[in-house]
Amino acid sequence: MKGITILGSTGSIGVSTLDVVARHPERFRVVALTAHRNAERLAEQCRRFRPDWAVMVDEAAAAELRDRLAVMGDAMPRILSGADALATVAALDDVEYVMAAIVGAAGLMSSLAAARAGKHLLLANKEALVVAGALLMDAAKDNGATLLPIDSEHNAIFQCLPPMRDRGLPEAGVDRILLTASGGPFRDADPEALAAVTPDQACAHPNWSMGRKISVDSATMMNKGLEIIEACWLFDTRPQRIQVVVHRQSVIHSMVQYNDGSVLAQLGNPDMRTPIAHALGWPERIESGVAPLDLFEVARLDFEPPAPDRFPCLRLAYRAAAEGGTAPVVLNASNEIAVAAFLDGRIGFTDIARVVEDSMDLLPAEPVDLSGLDHVLSVDAAARQTAEQRIAAMVA
């Protein structure tokens, strides 16, 4: 039986992971669950899955969790609080799998801890690679960790690549990666109308049920931009070999085009339990609970290029991927600040890209210091401060 830590168990990915795990009680044991503030849901999960450890990043929420679980008596998990505790439960000796499902740069340290501990790291936190790709990939390589992508697109690419991909994509006959995108709620919108978009409209994704931050990223296509950078690290390739394809049905999750003219695609219903089950079972296949794809019901598959004037964040992400170094750090940090400001009603939807571009212009890319996280975190902090200053100037 394999022990698993789920970082971010109360979010959509965490809940889906527990759904898959519950279908295989003979195969997995939940060792640790973590959340930020949602003590009520984490308490429910602890009562059902009986982990040894539970972590709340927020100390007040940890106190609430203790109160909620007091009735468990001796069966109550050991409860920790604070960001450092996430790294602790990611590196436990009796844990083999770590699901990294914490949204944003907050999941960086715990993902790195899992890689350094040689775990099977199921990476749903794309920002860990965007912000510290060199550090994370080196840690995985040096410590024998297995990195398995959970994003539906990267998991699809992983499934479509040949076994000899470790030799390099060109040597394996791969011409390019076709990264699919739904286009979000504004794929047909007039670009001039986007300035009036509300947070509720931006969060109304047509195909997926996701958190508010990632839903806004999908609406701006920054989410796809971050996936471009992530794919560069995961598959050791350049951004020029990655083409974004808007595929509104979200049935083909991504494709790989080979130099002999072949294109391999991974298809499935838009349900995150499929890539989660693939990563948990790999190299085997295990049941996920997802309904089989009915091609007759799908009936058609549409493809189109993303409109540059509708999705300026995509251009900025390609720029960050090409510049390398600290450029993706600035991109991600300034975007997080801008999205939060939009959700709070402080700036408009189209201001998100403006804040990000201004921040990238003011903080030019520099090489990443690979000796540790200090340099990355200092650039991240500077980018957040710069973004806040740009927002303050906009609303003044």
pLDDT at residue number 212 = 86
Q: What is the pTM of this model?
A: 0.92
Domain boundaries, the chain: 2-150, 151-314, 324-396
Please tell me whether residue 263 adopts helix, strand or coil conformation. Answer: strand
Predicted confidence band of residue 205 (pLDDT cuts 50, 70, 90): confident
Instruction: Compute the chain's Rg from CA coordinates.
Output: 20
pLDDT at residue number 52 = 97
Please tell me whether residue 238 adopts helix, strand or coil conformation. Answer: coil
User: Which CATH superfamily includes the segment(s) 2-150?
Assistant: NAD(P)-binding Rossmann-like Domain (3.40.50.720)
Cα 360 to Cα 331: distance, rounded to the nearest angstrom: 7
Q: Classify residue 19 by burial, with Cβ atoms within 10 Å: 0-12, 13-18, 19+.
A: middle
Alpha carbons within 13 A on the beta-carbon side of 240: 3
Cα 83 to Cα 280: distance, rounded to the nearest angstrom: 25
pLDDT at residue number 316 = 98
As a CATH number, domain 324-396 is 1.10.1740.10
C-alpha torsion 333→335→336→342, nearest 10: 150
Average pLDDT over residues 204-216: 78
pLDDT per residue as tens digits for the range 223-248? 999 999 999 999 999 999 999 999 99
Q: Are 279 and 149 in contact (CB under 8 A)?
A: yes
Flag the least confident range among 12-16, 189-193, 230-234: 189-193
pLDDT per residue as tens digits for the range 86-107? 999 999 999 999 999 997 677 8
C-alpha distances out from residue 203 to 187, 207, 250, Å = 14, 11, 17
Cα 351 to Cα 90: distance, rounded to the nearest angstrom: 37
pLDDT surpassing 70 at residue 62: yes
